[in-house]
Amino acid sequence: MAFINYSSREIQLKIVYYGAALCGKTTNLVTLHKQITHAQKGELVSLATDADRTLFFDFLSLNTKTLPGFTTRFQLYTVPGQAIYNTTRQLVLKGVDGIVFVVDSHWEKMADNVESFANLQENLIENHLSLVQIPYVLQYNKRDIPNAAPVNYLEFTFNNRANRALAFEAVAATGSGVLETLNAAARLLLAKYSKTPNANVTGMSQPNLSAAVPPSEESPRVPAGNAAA
């Protein structure tokens, strides 16, 4: 839940990067940490195993001056993607304001992606939340791999609903699309504090006002034959 401190003129917002195991959530934060100027960012903290797999969460704090008179502090978290850490994912979602759902573009990871999206919705319910309330954007990551699923397939699978979420192609390892994804999420969150909200972001979905309206809650659909891929 967003926290407004009128004394220090600060708004704190929590964005969680969610997605299947090894889809690139931590890589997003590592890349952001490299790309963003020193004055705006805190230290990147990773609670990971010896094999660099996220055990609890990764955390990165970013400060911006985008709202007049207020400092906005975005607290970016990742969840552990591995199936066994579901309780931990529920804990990290506590108090979430916005979500970046990272989709692995590998064909063979499609079932994992779909399962993770369903798991996200279940865990939001555990926290008395839903995708109807929480703004989210999609990131189609690993677009540079040779056997990447086509974007229209990913859009059909994860974004096939009346109010479509903004979606971004990315290669988190090289930085492509990473900042764009975060910017879209940040603007969706900040829009509710402006008298003249206008998401003004460019993604694959139409960048109009409807983008600031949380999409209806639906499960992603995988065409038969690919679900078990």
Partner 1 sequence: MTGIGMLTAEDQMAIEQRLTDFLAKSEAQWSALVDKGGNLFAQSGNTGNLDLSILSALAAGSFAATHELAKRLGESEFSALYHEGLGQHILMSALHHECLLVTIFGERTNIGLVRFYAQQVTTGLNDQLQQAREKEATAAPLLLDGDFMNERAAIS
- C-alpha 138/C-alpha 141 separation (Å) is 9
Residue from 66, 71, 49, 83 nearest 3 by CA: 71
Instruction: Rank residues 70 and 117 by Cβ distance to partner 1 and give the closer one.
Output: 70
Report the residue from 21, 22, 33, 36 that binds partner 1 according to the rule CB under 8 A.
36
Identify the residue among 17, 18, 77, 117 touching partner 1 (CB under 8 A): 77
Q: Residue 125: enclosing H or E segment and its boundaries?
A: helix 110-126
Dihedral sign for Cα atoms in the order 206, 207, 213, 219 = positive
Considering only residues 168-197, where is the footprint of partner 1 by CB under 8 A? 179, 182-183, 186-187, 190-197
Q: Looking at beta carbons only, is 192 or 221 nearer to partner 1?
A: 192
Question: What is d(CA 96, CA 132) in angstroms, rounded to the nearest whole number?
Answer: 13
* Member of 28, 29, 54, 74 binding partner 1 (CB under 8 A): 74
Number of Cβ within a 10 Å radius of residue 115: 15
AA letter at 25: K
Binding site for partner 1 (CB under 8 A): 1-8, 11-12, 14, 36, 40, 42-43, 45, 47, 56-57, 59, 61-62, 64, 66-70, 72-75, 77, 87-88, 91-92, 94-96, 128, 179, 182-183, 186-187, 190-200
